Amino acid sequence: MALQKTVTFIIERQDSPTGKPYTQEFELPWRPALNVVAALMEIQKNPVTKDGKRVAPVVWECNCLEKVCGACMMVINGKAQQACCALVDKLKQPIHLAPARTFPVIRDLLIDRTVMFENLKRIQGWINVDGTWEVRIPPRQNPNTAATAYEISHCMTCGCCLEACPNVGPQSDFIGPSPIAQAYMYNINPLGEYDKANRLNALMAKGGITSCGNSGNCVKACPKGIKLTTYLAQINRDVNIQALKNIFDH
């Protein structure tokens, strides 16, 4: 009889925001197409460590399991990624899971990404419409521009790029790659363009685009394949022009 194939996880845990991190090892039966979230669900059903100790189930965040909500980002074998589409068969065992410590940890793999949503306020991440009421026929848009906006609009605020970026973290006030790309998306919108100068000026402030050190990790980490470095370079170009305007227009 063939031995039951198993999968081993080494999970970095922490009981509270101020708790001390520790690791636990779990072993569970392999099955085809098993992903990390499904494995965590199995552990949740029967939270017993490899050495037979019954422990509290591992805490993590997930919603859609389809790689669109961005909730289940964690560090898997050293790299930030979505747990729901991290297939066990493609990972080296034992599989190490850790919270993304760029962000404050709440418990186990659960992190607090409030800062990402606050960043969207910093860049005025919206189109400043008059209201939800009917105004008139909306402006037409170049389908190619719309396609670029569509690409950037896939950003699910998961935080992979921030976790991978060496310049984002408690040691720095860098806003990170994703909100900068978002700012570009609003800037190319026919209505969003009206606030372009405000967004660029916000990005020229402390912790803005100037804190980018061109490590290029963001574009490799992005689970949505958004061309982050390209948009960062574009915003760099735009802020230079904006800086000239700031000097010579007044």
Closest of 105, 29, 46 to residue 73, by C-alpha: 105
Tell me the closest approach of the beta carbon of residue 26 to another protein, in angstroms: 14
Length of the chain: 250
Choose between 2 and 90: whose C-beta lies nearer to another protein.
90
Contact window for another protein (CB under 8 A) among 2-10, 20-28, 76-84: 76-84
Would you give the binding string for another protein spanning residues 53-72, x where CB under 8 A is met? -xxxx-x-xxxxxxxxxxx-
DSSP for 63-85? S-SSSSS-TTEEEETTEEEEGGG
Q: Which of 247, 100, 69, 241 is nearest to 162 (CA)?
A: 100
* Residue 38 binds to another protein (criterion: CB under 8 A): yes
Q: Which of 22, 23, 31, 194 lies at the binding interface for another protein (CB under 8 A)?
A: 31
Question: Which CB atom, from 21 or from 243, has the smaller least distance to another protein?
Answer: 243
Amino acid in the structure at residue 27: E
- Per the listing, tokens 């026919």 go with 190
Residue 243 binds another protein, judged by CB under 8 A: yes
- Give, to the nearest 10 degrees, the angle between helix 114-122 and helix 177-187: 40
Which of 156, 181, 183, 226: binder of another protein (CB under 8 A)? 156
Indicate which single residue of 1, 2, 3, 33 sits in contact with another protein (rule: CB under 8 A).
Answer: 33
27 vs 107, beta carbon nearer another protein: 107
State the nearest-atom distance from the C-beta of 97 to another protein, in Å: 14
Least distance in angstroms from the C-beta of 106 to another protein: 5
Please name the residues in contact with 165: beta carbons below 8 A apart, sequence gap of 6 or more.
102, 174, 176, 177, 215, 217, 218
Provide the minimum distance between the beta carbon of 110 and another protein in the complex, in angstroms, as a whole number: 5
Q: Which two tokens stand for residue 87?
A: 């297939």
**Which of these segments, 2-10, 21-29, 154-162, binds another protein (CB under 8 A)?**
154-162
In whole angstroms, give the CA distance from residue 127 to residue 31: 46
And the tokens for 52? 């037979």
Comparing C-alpha atoms, which of 78, 76, 79, 74 is closest to residue 59?
A: 74
Using DSSP's 3-state secondary structure scheme, residue 34 falls into coil
Q: Least distance to another protein from the beta carbon of 38, Å?
A: 4
d(CA 239, CA 204): 7
For another protein, which is the closer residue by CB, 1 or 198?
198
In terms of CB distance, is 27 or 79 closer to another protein?
79
Q: By CB under 8 A, what part of segment 159-218 binds another protein?
A: 164, 166-167, 169, 171-172, 174, 185-186, 189, 191-192, 201, 204-208, 210-217
Binders of another protein in range 217-236 (CB under 8 A): 217, 219-221, 227, 229-230, 232-236
Contact 25, 97 (CB under 8 A): no
